[in-house]
Structure 1
Amino acid sequence: MSILMHNPRNTPSFLRRSNPRVLFAALFLSCVGYYAGRLSTFSAEGTPEYEVRRIWSTRTLPEVERVTVTVDGPQVTVLGPQVTFQAPQATVTVTTEVFVPKADILEDAPIVLNGPPTEALQDNLRDDVQYITSFPGTGFTNDVMAFMNLLYLAILTQRVPIMPFFTPTHVTTAARKTVPPIDFGVIFDIPRLSKELGMPVLEWWQVKDRSSKTIDPLGCWSIWKAVSTRNKDAHPSTAPNTLHLDISWTTPPTWIKLLKDLPEEPHARFTSLMALTFPDLRGKSLRPSTPSPRLKLTLPPDDRLVCFDNMYWIANVEPHELTHDYSTTWRFIGKNLHWNPRIEGLARDCIRQTFSLPDSEPIPPYITIHVRHNDFASWCKFPVDECFAPLSAFARRVEEVKDELRTTKGISVERVIVTSDEKNSTFWDEVASFDWYRVDHRKTVDTYGGWYPILIDAAIQSGGMGLVGTDLSTVSMIAAHRVKAWQGGASRMVKWGRPGADDH
């Protein structure tokens, strides 16, 4: 079928001499330019800038196939049934509803949602797809670890993960005002993660409309209630209320525990939770559920959307195994969970500002120190100035990292950046005495928001060739993993808790 139908005798000579394919190309490019212009001006709070609606789908209707076109630049995939152009050798569909870069989707990716976000949760879940999700509530870095566990369990159960957003349980502004939640995909590179894992990864905003007030009844498992008799309720989280989920919780049997001989040890076992999602053990494990708080419904755990209250305390072999090199969660998930490119860009900008580097000059290798104090003070059995390690202990470990990098990498690293939750000016004066650098975050919150000091610091930590952290800090531990996996770098942890704890 020709793109233009006309009577040759009534057509101007310049059109009669034109190749129909050229005319099609001109019309197609003008239409794509129009829609690209509209898309380039779209913005939505909390939604990545390059997309309007990103759903894991290669088409929105069964009869509309995916088409890849090249238009003076990188390839893009344009999805949707709104405007169709036909030509002798191609059918091109253009839409303003769904637009994603080609790199954002896997080849032959499955359709895992019915369409754009819906008012009611269940309206967007497909009958032929199984999902899994969880909820935040343990602090940013601990929630990152919990979400890594969620993704690993998604692999074990072969379910599509719906990633929660982060809630600001430990984040406040200088005025002590809490900041709003932030989407998983604003912080981490989901397209890259999906490609590395070979599976789709969804976010809640893609499933249920952000503005929806519809209350969705849902049955979920409470790991928290099963692992300890002291836990009378599901692990607290504000996320279900934000999503308007009315959850009826079911406590699974205690055989999900990692260490059954320690009644109050809170870790569950991955394989036990995996088995709980399959019909055989699920049927045997059902118990009376607690009524949901709003509608007072008593529901069994949902089979299509399996959900758990909190997934921080999960392991295969021993508690807190993410601290070890054999951790399956780290090897399969964590090393592939890279920063959103925007976060990486902000971190590079901060490093350049910190080192007073022009844009034209490459960023030199550096070592990051992470000193954690603040909430650790409650663990101290000695006065704080004796409990926390002195900066001289960190300096000693920095020299060890420098020596290792010089020996193993043949590089000399001189610049050191200190990141810390410490507010005491005396501490920072001492940092300056070592000729170490400090990131200036005085304008960060006002410019980007309350989340960004910790996000930028974490990205800076992971970009260094070395990391000297605080023992027992999950922030330091995850940063050390990233430095080793992403930079091939070196790390050390400084012990604390008593005078001379890190002497060696």
Structure 2
Amino acid sequence: MFKEDLATSAKLAAFTLLSPPAAGARAGPSSSSDEPGSPSQRAVFIASPSAWPTTDSARSDSPGWGSAYGFGRRNRAATRKGAGHLTQGTYKWAAIATLLLLSIWVILPGGSHSKDRVHDITDGDAPRFNKSLVLQHAEPQETFFSQLLPGVRYITSMSYGGHANQFVGISNLLYVAKITNRVAIIPTLMPLHFSGAPQDLTVFYDLDRFIRESGIPAVLQSDLKPFSSDPAQLTTEKISCWSILERVAGNRNFNDGSMMVHGMDVRNWPLPFESGPMMWAEKVQEFDYELGERLAWIKRVNKELLPQETALPAQKPGDRPLNRHETLKDGFDPGRNDPPTDQMFCLDNTFFLATRVFPPAIPPSAPLEPLRSYEGQGWLRAGQYLHFSAHLEALAERYLVSLFGLWTARSIPPFISVHIRRGDFEQARGLTAIDAFKDAVQRVRDRLDRRMDDPDGWAGAGHELQRYFDGVRGKDYAVVVTTDDKMDSDFVRQIRSELGWKVLDHDKMQTIKKYGEWYPTMIDAAVLARGRGFVGWNGGVEEWTPSLK
């Protein structure tokens, strides 16, 4: 699109937002969509209609437009002034010279058509999201709100639960950003099941690639304001957030650490929806769109002091009746706090958002594999484009090379990945027998054989990405296990000696010592996602991502 005019670029931008990327866009690290200059890297998202350049502004602001436009004016003036003194040959050579100059202008980076407003090509051939479109300053600021640009609408949330829950919540946040035309501010990742410091999403995921492939503009919360292990050293700011969790679980999100580490003091506001186990993302979209109804709801919340506790403490005869300020739910005080603004649409939780997915308009010729219960729009429109970072992928390859005793990553054989969680499950749910995992692995082998024999005998997610190896049947696939069990336990010894399965050993690899507390979890996730088939506990959120990937 470097050589297309401005109107065509605008049409392409709209088309990119409405159309899914090419099939290859979802492939792994070796996908051709990673090549510089590929269509998936040239997707354009205009953050706000007010930010679209007009032809006149492009002429005045861009060096390419200015030089070419000025050259044309001077050339016309000179021609009018000295027309009687120019021969026909002079006109001919002038025309040729003009065409050559214009050709060079179109090709050279200085031409306006070569300037990609959304991707700032500053790091070799890897396009990066141009954050100046959505942030005031290139560097994080002392205050969060000083980074917001007038005319740009944002959406943010808080991290919730362990990493798997946080990934689902961030995927849903990015989807809601897409359907509301807002810029997503991604919350900082927080440790839950282990000690360690907060981390930016970009340590483990490729955000620039996500933006190129999904068309959803997003920045880190750390791009606005840094986090600190001692938030008292930061400027404290208030931020008001709509509480999804109050409608889902009865009270606000107490897990607000991802805001606290940035010096953000959360003030909660209720939503006007019915309570239930989940909340429709489309309801949130409608609430954002209907500004008048939102303002009326804010007025009602202030007047009635909502939300009120339903179970009030028992009172003795003669006790003073409690006023509505005293019976507000914990963490809510609308009369003393400003409501969330239209520019900064903050939600306290996005993990509990549900989405509607309809079957294809034209049924496929082959049987359609049904979507999993957790395979919603958050995954289909956003999460699947959150690829692991090159740094994490390299570590996953290094661990697999070591696990199989190889020299290079090219020699890693196809394998089935298995996640066995035992530590906290022993008390909470009981342990699953090893025979259950053996049976599940065999079912995966059988399914691989059926798909090898009839690749077009099914339809559904991942069909276009299926790859098989000549002469390699399901029985030949290795099995790679990640588990939180002790490496010297009878269970792990049995897996290794009797079944011949490979078990990732973070003690042997000294993962925590070399890389930190986050890395056993994140390397496991990257390794599991590389499996050609997956076995995990049915119902565990940590199984969702590897099974979908």
1:473 paired to 2:540: yes
Superposed, which structure 2 residues align to 1:77-476 within 5 Å? 99-105=122-128, 111-116=133-138, 117-170=140-193, 172=194, 178-210=195-227, 213-229=234-250, 231=251, 233-255=252-274, 257=275, 265-278=276-289, 279-286=291-298, 287-288=301-302, 298-317=337-356, 323-324=372-373, 327-359=376-408, 361-380=410-429, 387-409=430-452, 411-412=472-473, 413-423=476-486, 425-433=489-497, 434-442=499-507, 443-476=510-543
The answer to which structure, 1 or 2, has the higher relative contact order (CA under 8 A, 6+ apart) is 2
The structural deviation recorded for 1:156 is 1.1
Counterpart position of 1:499: none
Counterpart position of 1:17: none
Letter aligned with residue 269 of structure 2: T
Change (3 A) 1:143 1:355: same
**TM-score normalised per structure 1:** 0.68
The structural deviation recorded for 1:99 is 4.6
The answer (yes or no) to whether the contact 1:224–1:266 under 8 Å persists in 2 is no
Change (3 A) 1:228 1:436: closer
Distance in 2, matches of 1:322 and 1:371, equals 23
Change (3 A) 1:447 1:109: closer
Change (3 A) 1:253 1:405: same
Distance in 2, matches of 1:308 and 1:273, equals 10
The answer (yes or no) to whether the contact 2:158–2:348 under 8 Å persists in 1 is yes
Letter aligned with residue 269 of structure 1: W
Letter aligned with residue 216 of structure 1: E
The answer (yes or no) to whether the contact 2:374–2:544 under 8 Å persists in 1 is no
Q: Which runs of 5+ in 2 are unaligned?
A: 1-46, 52-57, 65-104, 306-327, 358-369, 454-471
Distance in 1, matches of 2:61 and 2:518, equals 40
Distance in 2, matches of 1:104 and 1:90, equals 14
- Which shows bigger deviation, 149-158 or 407-416? 407-416
- Secondary structure (helix, strand or coil) at the match of 1:374 reads coil
Distance in 2, matches of 1:185 and 1:361, equals 26
- 1:331-384 deviations in Å (ceiling 9; x for gaps): 11122111111111100110000000102752110111111222223433xxxx
Greater helix share, structure number:
2
- Secondary structure (helix, strand or coil) at the match of 1:364 reads coil
Change (3 A) 1:192 1:360: closer
Change (3 A) 1:297 1:243: farther
The answer (yes or no) to whether the contact 1:373–1:388 under 8 Å persists in 2 is yes
Distance in 2, matches of 1:237 and 1:341, equals 30
- Secondary structure (helix, strand or coil) at the match of 1:464 reads coil
The structural deviation recorded for 1:226 is 2.4
- Secondary structure (helix, strand or coil) at the match of 2:529 reads helix
Letter aligned with residue 404 of structure 1: R
Larger gyration radius, structure 1 or structure 2: 2
- Secondary structure (helix, strand or coil) at the match of 1:283 reads helix
The answer (yes or no) to whether the contact 1:132–1:306 under 8 Å persists in 2 is yes
The structural deviation recorded for 1:266 is 2.9
Distance in 2, matches of 1:360 and 1:133, equals 38
Distance in 2, matches of 1:327 and 1:284, equals 31
- Secondary structure (helix, strand or coil) at the match of 1:277 reads helix
Distance in 1, matches of 2:501 and 2:63, equals 53
- Secondary structure (helix, strand or coil) at the match of 1:105 reads strand
The answer (yes or no) to whether the contact 1:322–1:330 under 8 Å persists in 2 is no
The structural deviation recorded for 1:323 is 4.1
Distance in 2, matches of 1:133 and 1:322, equals 28
Letter aligned with residue 391 of structure 1: I
The structural deviation recorded for 1:403 is 2.2
- 1:39-72 deviations in Å (ceiling 9; x for gaps): xxxxxxxxxxxxxxxxx999xxx987599xxxxx
The structural deviation recorded for 1:190 is 0.5
Letter aligned with residue 237 of structure 2: D
The structural deviation recorded for 1:169 is 1.2
Distance in 1, matches of 2:222 and 2:437, equals 42
Letter aligned with residue 377 of structure 2: T
The structural deviation recorded for 1:326 is 5.5
- Secondary structure (helix, strand or coil) at the match of 2:341 reads coil
- 1:220-257 deviations in Å (ceiling 9; x for gaps): 1111112344x2x43422112111112221111234x4
The structural deviation recorded for 1:192 is 1.0
Distance in 1, matches of 2:226 and 2:541, equals 33
Change (3 A) 1:297 1:343: farther
Q: Which runs of 5+ in 1 are unaligned?
A: 1-55, 68-87, 173-177, 258-264, 381-386, 483-504
Letter aligned with residue 295 of structure 2: G
Letter aligned with residue 278 of structure 2: H
The structural deviation recorded for 1:427 is 1.2
- Secondary structure (helix, strand or coil) at the match of 2:424 reads helix
The answer (yes or no) to whether the contact 1:367–1:416 under 8 Å persists in 2 is yes
The answer (yes or no) to whether the contact 1:143–1:312 under 8 Å persists in 2 is yes
- Secondary structure (helix, strand or coil) at the match of 1:460 reads helix
Distance in 2, matches of 1:448 and 1:416, equals 25
- 1:165-206 deviations in Å (ceiling 9; x for gaps): 110112x2xxxxx11111111111101110111132100111
